[in-house]
Amino acid sequence: MNFAPTEEQLMVRDMVKKFAETKIKPIAAELDRTHRHPEEICRQLGEMGIMGVAVPTEYGGAGMDNVTYVMAVIEISKACASCGVIVSVNNTLYGHPVKTYGTEEQKHKFLAPVAGGKVEGCYALTESSAGSDAASLKCRAELKGDRYIVNGSKAFITNGNVARYCVLAATTDASLGYKGIINLIVDMKNTPGFHVGKLEEKMGILASGTAELVFEDAEVPAANLLGKPGQGFKQMMAGLDSGRIGIGAQACGIGRAALEDAIAYAKERVQFGKPISTFQAIQFKMADMATELDAAELMLLKAAWLEDHGYDFEKEAAMAKYYASDVAMKAAIEGVQIFGGYGYIKEYPAERHMRDAKICQIYEGTNEIQRMVVARKLLGTR
């Protein structure tokens, strides 16, 4: 059993860490305050290969592995959680289905620009009445000749306001349940009948846009179908498994930022004549935060390693996602507590970490759903 990263993995991690600390972290508060999409950061990360870490080089990616991807997302999310989720969606929710199920033509046309960081991608699954129950989609795609005519709307779509391409989950026949689901690649800048709806006002990850997508007799070429009819639900579940590793890595990064900021503050904050870092009550909080975050990172790396080597990683991805997000939320709360009153004001980043951490327990499958996934795998049921 070897826990040592390869030289290449360490090189990429160190490169991303330096970039995150020097280019992303200094503007994180401004991005949060203005809700500005960090386009310049995305373009630079694309040039570094981070918008498509595990995508083969012939399709615009860096040709590395998912272990490297986890390391990169942790470092980016330490600096800015919004940047972390943008990278995660590009790599997994959008990148995974196109890379895994797309034709050669689809991968060159629709994957390469996203993996290369020239444009963003998104995955349109959630609807106002279909969240955890992903098989109950109402967005309809009807095949007419060489085109699908799409009607319906999608909610809470990360990157939806800025993405060029979208993998859209729709049903050809709602009475078929999950068997009627398909995935279509949509060119969001060149699809008649499509428009971006409202942009959500959120608690956290404020530089990451969350949008409504509206389809009104939208015309999508039949050639943009991923795989075959009836395969969409299987594709969706596989993509979510991969995406959950990314969200777990985002959460782990947020938790580590909360811990590092709390340590630095505790060393400087003096009460009763000495730094509060000397008090056992504070030390125990930091020790628990560090222990739980280390455990979360190991779980994420294991899940990523299993994916890289072709093993079933559904259970491990669910475990890692819900554990990492739970301990990140706990770390963020304790970080605010260590900062005291200063943790509750925007002058310090502790309150931002707390706002950002919460969503990791909700999106890409609530933590209640993750526990159901784990239980089903343990019991051998579906």
Q: What is the CA radius of gyration of the chain?
A: 21
Measure the CA–CA gap between 246 and 89, rounded to whole angstroms.
8
Which residues have C-beta within 8 Å of that of residue 181, sequence separation ≥ 6?
135, 137, 169, 170, 171, 172, 230, 232, 233, 236
Known active-site residue 364: yes
Measure the CA–CA gap between 182 and 225, rounded to whole angstroms.
7
- At CA 372, angle to CA 366 and CA 378, rounded to 5? 145
Q: Which of 104, 201, 364, 368 is catalytic?
A: 364
Measure the CA–CA gap between 193 and 96, rounded to whole angstroms.
26
Report, in this order, helix, strand and coil percent for the chain, each rounded to 5: 60, 15, 25
Helices first, then strands: H and E counts in the chain? 13, 9
Which backbone phi and psi does 278 adopt, to 5 degrees? Answer: -85, -10
Asked if 35 and 113 count as a contact pair (C-beta separation under 8 A), the reply is no
Which residues are registered as beta bridge partners of 150?
A: 141, 218
The residues annotated with a catalytic role in the active site are 364
